[in-house]
Amino acid sequence: MSWYPIALPSQAGKRYLVTGGNRGLGFFTAARLAGAGAHVVLAGRSPERLEAALSAIRGARPEASVEPLVIDTASLDSVRAGAARLLHRPPLDGIVTNAGMVHTPGVRLESPDGNELVLATNVLGHFALLARLLPHLAPGARVVALGSFSTLLSTFRIDDLQLTRGYDFWRAYAQSKIATQVLAFELDRRLRAADSTTMSVVAHPGYAISGRTPRVPGVNEPTAGARFADALQTPWAQGKHRGAEVTLHALTAPGVEGGQFWGPRFLTKGAPNLQTPTRTTKNASIGARFWAFAEAATGETFGVA
């Protein structure tokens, strides 16, 4: 699989779920896992885009073991239906909660369940998914959440998570990523308290953009203009295939521990490197408050045992 010059250790016998696996970081994460011998479930909301991603992976690796799973993380009904399908399969060795909105709407919108759309898509859908699938993980499994260095650039309105008091597209994205990391670190605390062998880890891809990413038909096809514009950002940007290396490290590398925060060495680009998250995202009190909010917003009682 020519998208990656460095081979992963064999993942034969492993089973992974990657949400948002049909495009961007999720696609390259799923493709590399499949190329290393894992069985990978690619989840996404578009059947057509999922089929394009599967075709691209199989075109590069005809022996790849991959399957689609239609899940729209903005819809709790869709999440529950998708989780129910997985509960009839063998246990998972890892989940990458990658799906999310990057290009957020200019006005506040709500999900089918009445939650602010960006929060619902990027965070609450994954909360509900993990609530259903956590008991279905194999011993030693890892849950890797996609964080962001945008968490360094925004405040967190724990008392206005639905952004009813004021909305803008940047805050919606940054706040959802802060919430993603808050959730992941709180999950780690609860897993440790329960003496679970499952680990919760956060990985952020740096500044990963399409124009610095290999062309994959049906998956990544930026225009010549987009490639030119993105090439001007080369000193501080990398391709999404490179950003995915951080996720893959957090998911598969030996020595990774629950509660860690991995990102590119130079913040926006570079090899995977252990980093320090913001104090807000690691705050146990904030984590407990967000957990309670997420249970109320999704109707899921998320126990860890």
Pairing state of beta strands 272-275 and 208-209? unpaired
Q: Name the region of 194 (left: φ>0; alpha: ψ -120 to 50; beta: rest).
A: alpha
3-state secondary structure of 282: helix
User: Which residue type occupies 274?
Assistant: L
Q: Is 173 a catalytic residue?
A: yes
Instruction: Kindly tell me the number of DSSP H helices and DSSP E strands found in the chain.
Output: 10, 10
User: Read out DSSP for 249-260?
Assistant: HHHH-TT--TT-
- Pick the catalytic residue from 4, 16, 173, 207: 173
Paired strand residues for 200: 143
| Token pair recorded at residue 139 | 């011993």
Contact 269, 242 (CB under 8 A): yes
By annotation, the residues acting in catalysis are 173
